[in-house]
Amino acid sequence: MAYLMEQNIFNNKYTLVRFFQEEEYVETFRCGKIRMMSAKYYKKNEEKSKELYNNRYDAFENSNYIYNPNLDGTIQFVEPIGRERFTNMWVNPNVLCSPIIGNDKLDELTKISCFYILPIHNSPYKKLSSYVSNKVYNFGNYYCLIINQIEFENRIKNGIIKYHNQKITSGECFGPVEYIDEKNFNGKYGPFRKPSGLSWQNEYRIRVVTQDNNEPFWFEVDNLKDITIWGKTSELLDGMFNESGGLIISNYNS
């Protein structure tokens, strides 16, 4: 059985894929239970490798600000930092690069769910894998593809309203990640900016701030089975574009 995802579905914005290591995790997600881990978790993820852009290790995760010194060692602040109103400071540029200003407590309370933005191209007879980094296989053996992005975001919005009204969460936000050159960046950073070396992740995030540091935090929305399909990651990436730019996926589940 094959599924044809027409190109016009993507003309509005984009569509998303969530990857999973186990089939049972796919079912949990499709039931509307979205697993969210803390920014601290992602900051420490695979830290032992110390290879910043090799996989998912990101020392800059959820930093409040990043500032880089000029050649003379001065740093120009573009906005106040917290309650302080520094205008400039000096550091030794030979010792310090990309100073990070963060908040460990906020990292624990900030919960994030990560998705992959699926690239769509009008390239007949080319596989999706031609446009996707092989590193996505590290995200999991199974995929769950959102086939109605507008409805998905509506359900996320409804969930946000529910949790916010119950005072369970605050600071809710969702959208694509912006990738920046962290060595030439100065200013506010946050959870929706990441180093350009990680741009292969093509990431979209949902972020909430909770009242406690327990994790995972389960963000529950309406059932997602009617707006998702799923299967093996290898079969998704083997999907082929047709003449009109639609993506044909074989052996999917609904």
Q: Which two tokens stand for residue 14?
A: 């984009």
Amino acid 43: pLDDT = 80
Cα–Cα nearest to 119, from 207, 27, 219, 199: 199
Amino acid 226: pLDDT = 95
Amino acid 74: pLDDT = 73
Alpha carbons 77 and 101: distance in angstroms, whole number: 12
The DSSP string of 23-68 is HHHHHHHHTTEEEEEEHHHHHHTTGGG--TTTSS--TTTT-SEE--
Alpha carbons 60 and 153: distance in angstroms, whole number: 27
Inter-CA distances, 37 with 61, 81, 153, Å = 13, 26, 19
Q: Which two tokens stand for residue 38?
A: 């803390």
Tokens 């009242």 -> residue: 211
Cα–Cα nearest to 26, from 231, 199, 217, 178: 231
Q: Yes or no: say if 228 and 145 are a contact pair by the CB < 8 Å rule.
A: yes
Alpha carbons 40 and 44: distance in angstroms, whole number: 6
Q: Yes or no: say if 186 and 67 are a contact pair by the CB < 8 Å rule.
A: yes
Amino acid 122: pLDDT = 67
Amino acid 172: pLDDT = 95
Successive 10-residue mean pLDDT values, the chain, 254 residues? 62 79 97 96 67 65 82 70 57 56 87 91 81 89 93 96 96 95 86 92 96 93 96 94 81 90
Amino acid 59: pLDDT = 79
Q: How many residues in total does the chain contain?
A: 254
- Across the strands, what pairs with 117? 16
Inter-CA distances, 200 with 12, 55, 145, 203, Å = 22, 10, 18, 8
Q: Which helix (H) or strand (E) holds 159?
A: helix 149-165
Tokens 């975001």 -> residue: 153
Number of H helices, E strands in the chain: 5, 18
